[in-house]
């Protein structure tokens, strides 16, 4: 029988990459302490800063919001309803329930009203849903945070997400993407600071926290994420992790400590979009161009009178 490292009682969880076991209470304590340490290590934000947590209703982002709340940070939630049928409805409900139980503020944004639903956009655009969906989520969280005076946007990206992206960027030597891959993206030029306080936690560790902290989250994945290449990269990394626990954390942290400082970020000239004012490299930003295509498509499909 494994014993809790802290109190010697029967352990409920064992973390192979840290070679450490905890009872329920001390796992929660360890998790919260590690979130706080990560926020401090990367100078993400302080106790007085207003934080907007982008929540999807899944285990990672709700665990993040819960941890920030318990640690005494000033954190409101932001949920984007992507209009993906029952999946989006269930996710919104999970976020609302979470916020209500704790007396927290949740902002809900409806993509269908602002642009179109993800399924409708998928019909229109000849590319994977994840590519425009990610773009839209970044655009609207940034815009909303700016308009409402939030200092920073926090997302629930975990170690599995970050190492999958890192592996993919390394496989194709995307030097520019590599130079910008960081748990903190600074504010400036129309962007609010973006942070990922859960980068040191695996998906499993977040699921364990959510379970032990009794967070009711949506388990199903987005139906449009099926077949995304990141899933293959995650599988591959998990195989390596199983053979040698700690591989993912080492891969990621050593990249940040040893490799990233050697990379120079390419300077891209940004200017305000001529239609919406958000930062872009061209004349009109990609979201405004997407909106134009939506408007054109709905014009051509509406019956002529």
Residues lying near ligand AMP in the complex (CB under 6 A): 54-56, 60-61, 78-80, 82, 137, 155-157, 161
In the region spanning residues 72 to 111, those forming contacts with Zn ion, defined by CB under 5 A, are none
| 276 part of the interface to Zn ion, by CB under 5 A | yes
Q: How far is the CB of 65 from ligand AMP (least distance, A)?
A: 9
Residue 140 to residue 285: CA distance in whole angstroms: 13
Burial (CB count within 10 angstroms: exposed 0-12, middle 13-18, buried 19+), residue 171:
exposed
Q: How far is the CB of 285 from ligand AMP (least distance, A)?
A: 19
Structure tokens at 23: 């009872």
On the CB side of 142, how many CA atoms lie within 13 Å of its CA? 23
CB-closest chain residue to ligand AMP: 156
Instruction: For ligand AMP, give the closer residue by CB, 68 or 82.
Output: 82
| 273 part of the interface to Zn ion, by CB under 5 A | yes
Instruction: For ligand AMP, give the closer residue by CB, 27 or 140.
Output: 140
Residue 50 to residue 171: CA distance in whole angstroms: 37
Instruction: For Zn ion, give the closer residue by CB, 151 or 291.
Output: 291
DSSP classification of residue 258: I
Task: Select from 76, 131, 132 the least CA-distant residue to 109.
Answer: 76
| 143 part of the interface to Zn ion, by CB under 5 A | no
DSSP classification of residue 240: H
Q: How far is the CB of 256 from Zn ion (least distance, A)?
A: 31
* Residue 75 DSSP SS3: strand
Residue 276 interface partner, choices Zn ion, ligand AMP, none, CB cut-off 5-8 Å depending on type: Zn ion
The count of residues interacting with Zn ion (CB under 5 A) is 10
Instruction: For Zn ion, give the closer residue by CB, 170 or 213.
Output: 213
Give, rounded to a whole angstrom, the gap between the first and last alpha carbons of the chain.
Answer: 76
Residue 152 interface partner, choices ligand AMP, Zn ion, none, CB cut-off 5-8 Å depending on type: none
Instruction: For ligand AMP, give the closer residue by CB, 11 or 95.
Output: 95
The neighbouring-strand residues paired with 195 are 154, 184
Reading phi first (left if > 0) and then psi (alpha if -120 to 50, else beta), residue 173 is in: left
Which stretches of the chain bind Zn ion, using CB under 5 A?
4, 6-7, 23, 26, 273, 275-276, 285, 288
């Amino acid at each position: 029988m494994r014993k809790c490292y802290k109190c010697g009682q029967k352990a409920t969880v064992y973390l192979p990459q840290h070679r450490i076991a905890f009872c329920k209470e001390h796992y929660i304590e360890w998790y919260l302490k590690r979130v706080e340490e990560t926020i401090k290590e990367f100078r993400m934000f302080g106790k007085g800063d207003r934080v907007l947590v982008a929540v999807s209703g899944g285990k990672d982002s709700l665990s993040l919001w819960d941890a920030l709340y318990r640690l005494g940070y000033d954190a409101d939630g932001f949920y984007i309803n992507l209009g993906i049928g029952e999946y989006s409805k269930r996710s919104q409900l999970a976020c609302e329930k979470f916020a209500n139980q704790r007396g927290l503020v949740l902002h809900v944004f409806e993509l269908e009203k602002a642009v179109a639903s993800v399924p409708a956009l998928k019909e229109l655009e000849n590319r994977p849903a994840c590519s425009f969906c990610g773009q839209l989520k970044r655009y609207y969280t940034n815009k909303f945070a700016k308009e409402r005076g939030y200092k920073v946007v926090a997302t629930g990206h975990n170690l599995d997400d970050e190492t999958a992206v890192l592996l993919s960027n390394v496989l194709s030597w995307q030097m520019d993407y590599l130079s910008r891959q960081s748990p903190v993206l600074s504010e400036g030029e129309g962007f609010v600071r973006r942070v990922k306080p859960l980068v040191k936690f695996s998906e499993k560790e977040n699921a364990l926290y959510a379970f032990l902290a009794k967070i009711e989250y949506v388990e199903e994945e987005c139906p449009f994420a099926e077949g995304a290449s990141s899933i293959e990269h995650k599988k591959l990394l998990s195989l390596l992790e199983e053979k040698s626990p700690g591989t993912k954390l080492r891969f990621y942290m050593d990249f940040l400590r040893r490799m990233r400082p050697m990379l120079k970020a390419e300077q891209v000239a940004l200017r305000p979009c001529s239609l919406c004012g958000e930062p872009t490299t061209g004349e009109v930003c990609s979201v405004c161009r997407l909106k134009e295509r939506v408007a054109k498509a709905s014009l051509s499909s509406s019956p002529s009178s």
